[in-house]
Amino acid sequence: MKIGLLGFGVVGRGFYELTLSRSDMKVGHVICLEDITLPGVNVTRNINDILSDPEVDTVVEAMGGLHPAWDFVKAAIEAGKNVVTSNKALVAAFYDELLPLVQEKGVLFRCTAAVGGGICWLSELERVRRCETVVKLGGIMNGTCNYILDNMTRNGLTYSDALKQAQALGYAEANPSTDVDGIDTWNKLLISCNVAWGVSLEQSQVPAAGIRNIKAIDIAAFAEHGRACRLVSTGEMENGVISAYVQPKLFPVTDLEANVPANFNLITFEGSSCGRMSLYGQGAGRYPTAYNVLQDCVDLTRGNGFYSICTGKVNVCNDGKLCFYVRGASDAWLDSVTADHWGEGVITSPVSVSEMHAWCAEHPDVFMASLA
């Protein structure tokens, strides 16, 4: 396998290093903006060096972002190259175009590192589908949020101190909004549902709420009631109808999720016969993520591409009702559904997920978490 590698940052460099001791693959070109030299590698800014090299059979994309990453990936597929990517934003945004193009051009595509970094989540989900129906999936998919929530809960840090610590350790970006507003988890949920059910979710119908507004007083109220907060994704399929959303959830302190430490991820599926199965590990980081990119490349050498055929757009229905903790606003609607008080927050009677997210969108300072 001769590889054209796009991007030489955290993941790209890690992947390159992991290939050095292998005889079954070699990075022949690297697209990189910096002036670096790598022995026996053509370091370039020109994608055409890769597209026009007939010996390159595989393009590994680790640049991130939508453009030019998607333009390069699309051009690579059109040129008949197999593609591996770790870019969740790209896969989630272009799923509808990507999968049909892969099929049309008869190339192979994998993106295991895009969800769960070093965890073999997507590759396992794909295996589950071969044998049975996925009933439910989701969990802790963002290490930055988990790091913040775990430190607020176990070490009594404020939100801003926990975020600063996450930034100092390189877990959070200078602008943390993709993580703390749930967008990263949302991208990962969309990809997971699409893979699990062979569909393409209508993205605008999948709501996401994050942890930006959480305060120490919320954490204290949860502890008093034996709960710990985690940001989780949820996807469910019942009678052909899919429900999917991202929101903070209050787990009993004895649950596995409540005990996931630091920046780890815990992602779970429920199969129709195998029951609950959870995968736990490093959802990010140079070598864990590069490991899954490498695994995808090995799969390609064996002819194993992702994924099952996408059967087209499906509607999402989030009419299921849950009780919520809400703090930070009050109005007639919230008063009408208030069933209890926890500290400065209220507990609602059962409210549909779609109704709660619509209300939160009108109240941007609110912190909300479901109880189940």
Ligand X SMILES: NC(=O)c1ccc[n+]([C@@H]2O[C@H](COP(=O)([O-])OP(=O)(O)OC[C@H]3O[C@@H](n4cnc5c(N)ncnc54)[C@H](OP(=O)(O)O)[C@@H]3O)[C@@H](O)[C@H]2O)c1
**Interface residues toward ligand X, by CB under 6 A:** 7-12, 31-34, 62-64, 68, 86-88, 113, 117, 284-285, 289
Question: What string of DSSP letters covers 301-346?
Answer: HTT--B-PPP--EE-B----EE-EEEES---HHHHHHEEEEETTEE
Q: Which two tokens stand for residue 198?
A: 């062979």
Q: Which residue is nearest to ligand X (CB)?
A: 9
Q: Which amino acid is at 308?
A: S
Nearer to ligand X, 111 or 232 (CB): 111
CB nearer ligand X, residue 68 or residue 328: 68
Least Å distance between CB 18 and ligand X? 13
- Select 116 or 235, whichever has its Cβ closest to ligand X: 116
Tokens representing 124?
């396992």
What Rg, from alpha-carbon coordinates, does the chain have? 21
Catalytic residue among 74, 136, 164, 188: 188
Q: Are 227 and 253 in contact (CB under 8 A)?
A: yes
> What distance in Å separates the CA atoms of residue 141 and residue 268, rounded to the nearest whole number?
10
The nearest distance, CB 359 to ligand X, in angstroms, is 31
* Residues 262 and 147: beta-carbon distance below 8 Å: yes
Cβ 348 to ligand X, closest distance in Å? 35
Active-site residue flag, 26: no
Q: What are phi and psi of 344, to 5 degrees?
A: -85, 0
Q: Which is nearer to ligand X, 119 or 237 (CB)?
A: 119
Residue 63 vs 140, nearer CB to ligand X: 63
Q: Are the beta carbons of 28 and 41 closer than 8 angstroms?
A: yes
For ligand X, the closer CB: 307 or 367: 307
Minimum distance from CB of 36 to ligand X (Å)?
10
E-strand ranges in the chain read 2-6, 26-31, 42-44, 58-61, 82-85, 109-110, 134-140, 200-201, 227-238, 241-252, 264-271, 275-282, 313-314, 321-322, 324-327, 338-342, 345-348, 351-352, 367-370
d(CA 140, CA 189): 10
Please, what is the minimum distance in Å from the beta carbon of residue 67 to ligand X? 8
Contact 153, 216 (CB under 8 A): no
Rounded to the nearest whole angstrom, what is the least distance from the CB of residue 187 to ligand X in the complex?
9
DSSP lists the bridge partners of residue 6 as 31, 61
Instruction: Indicate which residues carry an active-site annotation.
Output: 188
